[in-house]
Amino acid sequence: MNFAERAKELVSKMTLEERMAQLCNKAPAIERLGVPSYDWWNEALHGVARAGTATVFPQAIAMASSFNDDLLEQVGDVISDEARAKYNVYKKFGGTEIYQGLTECAPNINIFRDPRWGRGQETFGEDPYLTGRMGAAYVRGMQGNGKSKYRKVDTTLKHFAVHSGPEGKRHGFNAVVSEKDLRETYLYAFKYCIDHADAASVMGAYNAVNGEPATGGKHLVEDILYGEWGFQGYMVSDAGSVKDIHEGHKFTKNEVESAAFALNAGCHLNIGTSYRELPQAYAMGLVSEETITKACEKLFETRFRLGMFDEDCEYNNISYDCVECDAHRALNRQMARESIVLLKNDGILPLKTPKTIAVIGPNADRVSLLLGNYNGIPSRYATILRGIQEATDARVLYSAGVFPSTTSQMSDIYREAVVTAERADVVILCVGLNPSMEGEEGIDAPNSANCGDRADIELPKRQQELIRRVVAVGKPTVLVNVSGSCVNLCEADRLCNAVVQLFYAGAEGGRALADVLLGKVSPSGRLPVTFYRSTDDLPPFEDYSMENRTYKFFKGDPLYAFGHGLTYSNIIETPLDENTVEVFNEGPYDTAYSVLKYEYIPHKSLCGFKKIFVRAGERITVRFD
């Protein structure tokens, strides 16, 4: 029998009450049928998350900067190995608990339409095509890319759909969009990942779209996802999003009606507790036995496809020894290197054997800046300061300069930074944001006054003053901005000799940055988002129209454009025909390099990219399909 037939046979032996109980994420055991308990909720955004030690890769927005979907597919393969390894040992306890399973709530392929959204760091940026390509690569790597009749893990595309803030209003927010923006921008990557990577699952968003709750909306779920696209996977709610249908959106009267509404629309699994009301909904005639049974069959087909009931599933042999092993850490460092974006360089980089390096700033030695959010715990890691200390024989001086908060007991917070800069040949000035300032409502960003979002794109005022005072010392200065999103770097661009963007870079981030600063590798990252000059450049945050948003539609002059990123060499692209370009490295450095292809429809739109490695003096011909 195939997986669907096996699921149908098993479910037929369950009572109706047992079937309904299986539709919540905490699915209980059915001992008489040999079904162990299973919690469907697991996280793997950029590594196995919230389940202890794991290889923590760069945050998703950082990996998007690599413009290297082949490398990202390898990352997905490694992460799913670690997820399998953990599942293999935890299932021996008789069942799995939250964050121990094979059904991963990742990737987040929402469009990062506005830099004030705190969760934008979880996405692959502002471009639908880039998001689709990177998302599909991640899904293929995670799920096993069809190499076996079993799936290694399930991925869940989230959040379906039109979801990118405001965080504080998300449980009742109604995103109003035109059909054009819906199709071209907000849904494109979802369809791409389903068509090109056979994504197992889709997660409904908290918000409503044009008046319909996203978790069960007729137009989104019934008409488009299942109707037009013919999606064959399963749909899950976000945590508590079924409850939002009546509490936040007032679309139904109570939780019983909300549970029936979501299940009838095709939301098979409830992450939360709302589906505990299904017995009452069934008794009231709001949901049929057939609908309940089909949902249960779909979920057990998935569990069979994951090999949960088969001893001969080859993924059962993945050992726990792979977790944070040397090979995984090496891949992590490679991805971190390719994620670093050089925004400005007057020739100061790579550093030319300085005798004394001053590493200054609040982001120089903070572990949280490596991790972003939805992260695991690395047992070995390197902050920026530690990475530089490990990589050079030069004397390395350090000053935090300023802190997120001050107390009356502190002395002048800038003097030590100035004194440290005075004693150095070159300054590495580490500023920016941190995950306590941007993240998810109710979970991350305790230092945000906007439920994880930002009111503006400015650096904290104390950091702005720190930059001015350190630069005034007169030493060559490299500014490293650490953030998960766009920050106004106009003053830094004007004052500093070089500017580097380090998105939350993972456990190997400090070592990878040292590799770039000291010239062991040439930088090759490109921005997956626009870096604007001012908050005034942005439309109202709650406006979901794409008018004047992202590089496609922005009418102003950005400081750093989408796709911007320098190398240490001089790369010349010469078009040979509409789909072919010659890449010539006329500079002195070997370097990785991303070739981007755009079309104009009539606005500029990314339609292709390829990551290559080109040696000094080498010419490579790159052809796009």
Positions marked catalytic: 238
Rounded to whole angstroms, the Cα distance separating 25 from 591 reads: 46
User: Of all helices (H) and strands (E), which one includes residue 69?
Assistant: helix 69-90
Cα-flanking dihedrals φ and ψ of residue 465, to 5°? -70, -35
Cβ 204 vs Cβ 214: under 8 Å: yes
CB atoms within 10 A of CB 597: 17
Rounded to whole angstroms, the Cα distance separating 227 from 141 reads: 27
Rounded to whole angstroms, the Cα distance separating 173 from 584 reads: 50
User: Of all helices (H) and strands (E), which one includes residue 568?
Assistant: none
Rounded to whole angstroms, the Cα distance separating 25 from 156 reads: 14
Q: Which two tokens stand for residue 313?
A: 């599933």
Cβ 68 vs Cβ 11: under 8 Å: no
Q: Which amino acid is at 184?
A: E
Secondary structure string (H, E, C) spanning 169-203? HCCCCEECCCHHHHHHHHCHHHHHHHHHHCCCEEE
Rounded to whole angstroms, the Cα distance separating 624 from 534 reads: 36
Locate tokens 């320098």: which residue?
566
Q: Which two tokens stand for residue 476?
A: 């060559």
Rounded to whole angstroms, the Cα distance separating 390 from 408 reads: 35
DSSP 8-class letter at 206 = S
User: Of all helices (H) and strands (E), which one includes residue 516?
Assistant: helix 509-517
User: Of all helices (H) and strands (E), which one includes residue 150?
Assistant: none
Q: Are strands 395-399 and 212-213 parallel, antiparallel or unpaired?
A: unpaired
Secondary structure string (H, E, C) spanning 315-369? HHHCCHHHCCCHHHHHHHHHHHHHHCEEEEECCCCCCCCCCEEEEECCCCCCCHH
Instruction: Please count the CA atoms within 13 angstroms of the CA of 336 that sit on its side-chain side.
Output: 31
Q: Which two tokens stand for residue 339?
A: 């994620």
